[in-house]
A = this chain, B = another copy of it.
Amino acid sequence: MLDKLKTEVYDANMRLPKLGLVTFTWGNVSGIDRDKGLFVIKPSGVDYDDLKPSDMVVVDLNGKVVEGNMNPSSDTPTHTVLYNAFPKIGGIVHTHSEMAVAFASARLDIPAVNTTHADTFYNDIPVTEPLTKAEIEDAYEENTGKVIVKTFADRGLDYDATPGCLVGQHGPFTWGATPDKAVYNAKVLEVCANIAYHATMLTHKDIHVPQYLLDKHYYRKHGANAYYGQNNPDSKNHAAREEK
């Protein structure tokens, strides 16, 4: 069942340690088959070295396990909320990548301060309010998804143009058209956090790029006038085929 998607999700999970985004098994990737309304996610707490495509767990959009012998990632309710709220996304990634978690701990957005950021994120990468006591004690992981959705709604952000978020006091979630693209965005988010950290330390001024720079970078990769890569106009190229 969903063997191709399981392999795709497995491969995307295995890229996380290679990209330096996870310590131990602190990360997970899922991918969805929108036609069937089912998503595939990493099982909870299995070593990357032991993981196999067939270990992936199939879950429906109510968060119910449909197939699989193992427990799905404990973050499954977060993924469920995001798939329901963000209908265009095909994959989700959660990591504890360290510079992103530093911004989440400081409860600061990752500011858009250069073209590296603008090429992938059309806005500052927002940090949510930390969960309240009630939200943590009841349905913690589900509420983690809800606070992301609420943050995007409150700020009027387009989840397709800004494919990632920091959960306050916790860490980053990213998404994309495919699991692979969501992994790409997780790496870009960490790189942007690292650069923004050092730029901020150097100057302590407001160094946001202007809106017209954000517009330019967004539209040269998206829509009818895109001119990036070998096959544009097409915003769904294989993630690794992006170039600057």
Contact = CB atoms under 8 A, between A and B. Distances in A.
A224 interface: no
B240 A47 contact: yes
B212 A106 contact: no
Contacts of A230: 43-46, 70-71
A198 interface: yes
A228 interface: yes
A103 interface: yes
Interface in A93-141: 94, 96, 98-99, 101-108, 113-116, 130-131, 133, 136-137, 140
Interface residues of A, number: 74
A127 B158 CA distance: 33
B116 A212 contact: no
Contacts of A188: 23
Contacts of A37: none
A227 interface: yes
A27 B243 CA distance: 7
The winner among A99, A103, A199 for most chain B CB atoms within 10 A is: A199
Contacts of A203: 106-108
The winner among A75, A170, A228 for most chain B CB atoms within 10 A is: A170
A211 to B, nearest CB: 9
Contacts of A26: 116, 242-244
Contacts of A101: 114, 116, 195, 199
A105 B98 contact: no
A26 B120 CA distance: 12
Contacts of A107: 203, 207
Given A101-B114, A102-B199, A137-B216, 7 more contacts: A23-B187, A23-B188, A24-B184, A28-B243, A74-B244, A106-B202, A108-B203
